[in-house]
Amino acid sequence: MLKNLLLRTIPYLLSVIGGITLFLISLDKVKDPNVSGLIDNIAASLLSIPLVFLLYDYTNYRISKQVNRTLATNITDKVNSLILNIVVFLRHSLGLKVNVHLESFNKLQDWSLKKIAQRLKITRAEMNNLRAYRYEIDEILYRASRGNVLTSEQSQILSSLSREILHLITEHNLHRDKHIVAKHVKNIISRVIEWQDTSSDISLGAENVDSSEEAGKI
């Protein structure tokens, strides 16, 4: 980091030194006013160039910082909305009749694969939504990589979540092995909980997941 800063600073320093040197030469050694004026103009240009580039770098830094902040907020909102939709999908597909809180959702991790397989019912509409969720996760990961707004842990969680959804869709549509499907559902539950542990912006414990508002999305 320090090395890069020094390398970027060297051209500015050389320009400033050159401008000061020419200005001193014009004062002491040049008697012709025309030549002295020409040298002064060159010196002034050499002195002004670093200021222009420093102002550009500062402006570019401020703009980039604001863009990244906006991108981070947008991506966080999208991920949190997506996670809530996945929670609602799990609630419907597992036949849960009560609103899901953080504590009750965490307890889903304790369900056996046999219990999940027995309770799990995925409609065609829900399967279509799962495809849309996976596409949305991949799009989020692509945008986040350009702005570097997610931690490596968060990116890994979302990548794993996308893979589990893909495996769930493939297994459900092609092989229909309920035990394997249940395994992927349990892994999706784990990824959702892991995301909550890394994000301070979403908490199922603070708000109920109300199916009456979200059901239309499934």
Strand extents, DSSP E, the chain: none
Instruction: Write down the residue that tokens 């908490």 correspond to.
Output: 203
Which of 187-192's residues contact partners 24+ apart within 8 Å by CB, and which partners? 187/160, 188/86, 188/90, 188/161, 188/164, 189/90, 189/105, 189/108, 189/109, 190/109, 191/157, 191/160, 191/161, 191/164, 192/83, 192/86, 192/87, 192/90, 192/105, 192/161
Instruction: Judge contact between 42 and 66, C-beta under 8 A.
Output: no
What is the per-residue pLDDT across 86-130, written as a single tens digit (0 to 9) for each? 999 999 999 987 676 767 788 898 999 999 999 999 999 999 999
Closest CA to 187 of 161, 159, 154: 161
DSSP state of 59: H
What is the per-residue pLDDT across 14-48, written as a single tens digit (0 to 9) for each? 787 887 887 777 776 767 677 777 877 887 887 78
Q: What phi and psi, each to the nearest 5 degrees, are found at residue 114? A: -65, -45
- Token representation of residue 206: 């603070």
Q: What phi and psi, each to the nearest 5 degrees, are found at residue 209? A: -90, 105
| Residue 215 binned pLDDT confidence (cut-offs 50, 70, 90) | very low
- Token representation of residue 151: 């931690």
In the chain, domain spans: 2-62, 70-217
What is the per-residue pLDDT across 63-89, written as a single tens digit (0 to 9) for each? 888 888 888 888 888 998 999 999 999
Instruction: Write down the residue that tokens 């301070």 correspond to.
Output: 200
Distance between CA atoms of 218 and 89, rounded to whole angstroms?
A: 7
Please tell me the predicted confidence (pLDDT) of residue 171: 94
pTM above 0.95, yes or no: no
